[in-house]
Amino acid sequence: MDKETYGLIGYPLGHSFSRKYFTEKFIHDNINAEYLNFEIESVSGLKRIIEENKFLKGLNVTIPHKQNVIPLLDELDETASEIGAVNVIKITHDVEGKIHLKGFNTDVTGFKGSISPMLESWNKNALILGTGGVSKAINFALKSLGIETLFVSRTPKDGAITYKNINAETMNKYTVIVNASPVGMFPYTDAAPEIPYEHIGKRHVIFDTIYNPPATLFMKLAEQRGAKVKSGMEMLIGQAEAAWKIWNS
């Protein structure tokens, strides 16, 4: 029996949660499959990857390709289309052997499942730190939970404020703060988003989509102020399992 192939596209791929997670899953569940990292600086390399791996059934997509991969796909599911970002591609072949690529976004599923238990009735407004592909999924998920959102960007952008605009009033109103940027990710663990941490308190929910390190400086500074904090690990596991269901449905 031919070994099915799954993988991850992105650049760079110095540390891959997905490869480790799925490799261990395949061993534990006795699944005849492999998971490979495909480090491509340009998304144009996707065509070559598919051509060279004839048993490829699915791909995860990470930075910087979550948005620029979309024009190369044949179809988007409704959620991915609305978000405008993809982190999962399902690869199928029709009876004539033609390849069909369909994009999905399971970041929404992973994030929503992880943050929901943390929320209280007063958590009605959220700051999303960062404006990349994952931030779009975060925004979609929070709005589906009835939470109003505001993006924060390093540079002025339509529909976002900059970090220097965040003050005590902002922090008091926006009691959910999600870091959807790479600030604080290994190996730059001494960095944290530039927000006024002195205005964080017990009513705040602090979520970092980063999983390495397990506790970022962002999380530590917020926890010192009494906030609820969580890393992106649970979100990652949730989105990975959702991806597996898509690939095998």
Q: Dihedral of CA 214/217/218/219: which sign?
A: positive
**Integer Cα distance of 144 and 102 in angstroms:** 23
Tokens 């906030």 -> residue: 227
Inter-CA distances, 125 with 56, 119, 156, Å: 41, 11, 21
User: CB of 208 within 8 A of CB of 231?
Assistant: yes
Cis peptide before 214 (omega within 30 of 0): no
DSSP H or E stretch at residue 137:
helix 133-144
Structure tokens at 51: 């051509």
- Angle ∠(212,215,219) on CA atoms, nearest 5: 125
CA distance 190 to 154: 18
Measured between alpha carbons, how far is 85 from 232 in angstroms, rounded to an integer? 18
Q: How far apart are CA 81 and CA 79, in angstroms?
A: 5
Q: Given 3, 66, 112, 136, which residue is catalytic?
A: 66
Active site (annotated) includes residue 66: yes
| Positions marked active-site | 66
